[in-house]
Every structure is written in C-alpha cells, then in structure tokens.
C-alpha cells in the first residue's frame, strides 16, 4: 500500500496498519472516531480525547519529545504526526526506523484532505469520506454574513496572537470574523500598545495553549474598554480532526452571541 503524506513523502505499507502510534491530539481523536480501537497502541500525554484512551493507551511522551524506548517496545507499523506540532529532528529520527505519515495543515480544506487520507491509510476510507463530507457541509451552513474585527490571543506574557498561514485564521474567516492580524504571519508577538492600536471589536482569549481564564478578562478589558472580550474553546479553533464536527454547534453559538 503506497500513500503520499501532506509533506509529499511516499509511505509504503505492506498491509493496513495494526499497531499505530499517534503523536497529535486531534489526529488521535480522529483515529478513535474512525473506529481504530485495537490498532492504536500509543499516544502522547496531550491526547486527552477520548478520555478512555487517555487513561488506557500507552503514552510515548509529549508532542515534541518522545520516549524512543517506549516506542520501540510498542513495535509500531505506522506513526502519524504533524509538521507544526511535532519536533522536526525527533520526527526525522523516527523516520529512519518506522513508516511515519505527516500532516501539514493550514486550512479547512487541508484538514478534510487529511481526514480522508488517514482514513484510506488505516482502512477506514468510507467512514472518513462520510465524516469529511459532514464537516464540509456543516461549515457551509455556518452563518457568516456579519463580520467582526477580531484579535485571537494564544499566549500571555508575552502576548501572542494568531496571524495568517494558520489553521485558526482559516476557521476565523469561515466563521465570518475579520482577523486584524492577518497581515502578520503565523503567531506574532504584540505589545499592549500595539493591541490598543488595533482596537478590535472582539478579543478572543483561547483556552490553549495558554489557559486564559476569567481573571484575564479584567486585565484586557482595562486595556480595551470598548472591546467585547470572550473566553473561547481553543480546541474548537485549532483541532483539525473529527472534533471539527463536534465543534460546529459551538462555533454557530459563538457567532449568535456576538
């Protein structure tokens, strides 16, 4: 079986994989929703969904640093990773020993392609196509007629936002939000003065990777008294697997509450 990953690399498997390690939380959840209950043998400590797998599956480390001895003992016939979330040198080391399929995701279209490619790779093609079609249909039905000028923050001290060439930026656009940081690439650092100059109508404080909480609203509200400040579920904007289907109602409700 020959598959091309999203980095353009050819992955050769002699048969559908039976011992899979996932190094990306959102892709771990996808494998669960595709029904790979027995085939997935290893996950990371950040793969919190589903909770049963978090408790029961062997953890091989984080998304950046792995326990190579643990991986070797699991004898994987497929490892699934992601260019942004995983550390390049460690992934390249794994590639010398195991088949490693890598995703590279900037848009919803990339995510839908990944879902179907992984589904085909793990012998769940029909289920993955149906899942991707359902997600695509749901996003087409999201209300997006009213545009709000927003800034989406992912970190505090230093303040970091989300710019273009990111999956979050594409999700914001599809939800009808105008990202005021779209002229910057990736994850720009902002001073408080720069944030005030942007003067967003809405400021999103994400639950991940920095865990913004209610206490942070007061600080940013003092900086931006005319701005609506919202705590938002980071998984809804950044998890690009099957969680997209689960978060569509959340995104629709968020728009409705603006």
Q: Please confirm whether the linkage preceding 32 is cis (ω < 30° from 0).
A: no
DSSP state of 206: E
In tens, the pLDDT along 179-227 reads 999 999 999 999 999 999 999 999 999 999 999 999 999 999 999 999 9
pTM of the model: 0.94
Per-residue pLDDT of the chain (258 residues), as tens digits, is 789 999 999 999 999 999 999 999 999 999 999 999 999 999 999 999 999 999 999 999 999 999 999 999 999 999 999 999 999 999 999 999 999 999 999 999 999 999 999 999 999 999 999 999 999 999 998 876 668 999 999 999 999 999 999 999 999 999 989 999 999 999 999 999 999 999 999 999 999 999 999 999 999 999 999 999 999 999 999 999 999 998 999 998 998 887
From the number of C-beta atoms within 10 Å of its C-beta (0-12, 13-18, 19+), residue 207 rates as middle
Q: What sign does the dihedral 35-38-43-46 (CA atoms) show?
A: positive
In tens, the pLDDT along 59-85 reads 999 999 999 999 999 999 999 999 999
The CATH 3.40.50.1980 domain(s) of the chain lie at 2-138, 148-256
DSSP state of 61: B
Length of the chain: 258
Q: Where are the beta strands (DSSP E) in the chain?
A: 2-4, 10-12, 20-22, 40-43, 58-59, 78-82, 100-103, 148-155, 159-161, 177-179, 189-190, 202-206, 228-232
CATH 3.40.50.1980 fits 2-138, yes or no: yes
Q: CATH for 148-256?
A: 3.40.50.1980
């Amino acid at each position: 079986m020959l598959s091309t990953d999203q980095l353009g690399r050819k992955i050769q498997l002699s048969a559908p994989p039976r011992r899979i390690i996932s190094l990306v939380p959102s892709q771990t959840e996808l494998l669960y929703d595709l029904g790979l209950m027995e085939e997935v043998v290893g996950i990371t400590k950040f793969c919190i969904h589903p909770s049963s797998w978090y408790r029961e599956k062997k953890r091989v480390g984080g998304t950046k640093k792995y326990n190579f001895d643990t991986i070797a003992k699991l004898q994987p016939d497929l490892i699934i990773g992601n260019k942004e979330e995983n550390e390049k040198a460690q992934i390249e080391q794994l590639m010398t020993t195991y088949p490693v399929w890598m995703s590279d995701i900037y848009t919803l279209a990339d995510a839908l392609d990944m879902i179907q490619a992984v589904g085909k790779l793990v012998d769940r093609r029909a289920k993955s196509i149906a899942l991707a079609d359902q997600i695509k249909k749901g996003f087409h039905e999201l209300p997006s007629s009213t545009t709000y000028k927003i800034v989406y923050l992912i970190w505090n001290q230093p303040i970091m936002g989300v710019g273009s060439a990111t999956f979050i930026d594409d999700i914001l656009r599809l939800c009808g939000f105008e990202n005021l940081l779209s002229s910057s690439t990736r994850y720009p650092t902002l001073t408080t003065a720069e944030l005030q100059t942007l003067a967003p109508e809405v400021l999103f404080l994400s639950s991940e990777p920095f865990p913004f909480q209610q206490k942070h609203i007061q600080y940013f509200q003092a900086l931006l008294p005319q701005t609506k400040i919202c705590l938002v579920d980071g998984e809804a904007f950044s998890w690009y697997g099957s969680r997209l289907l689960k978060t569509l109602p959340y995104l629709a409700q968020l728009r409705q509450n603006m």
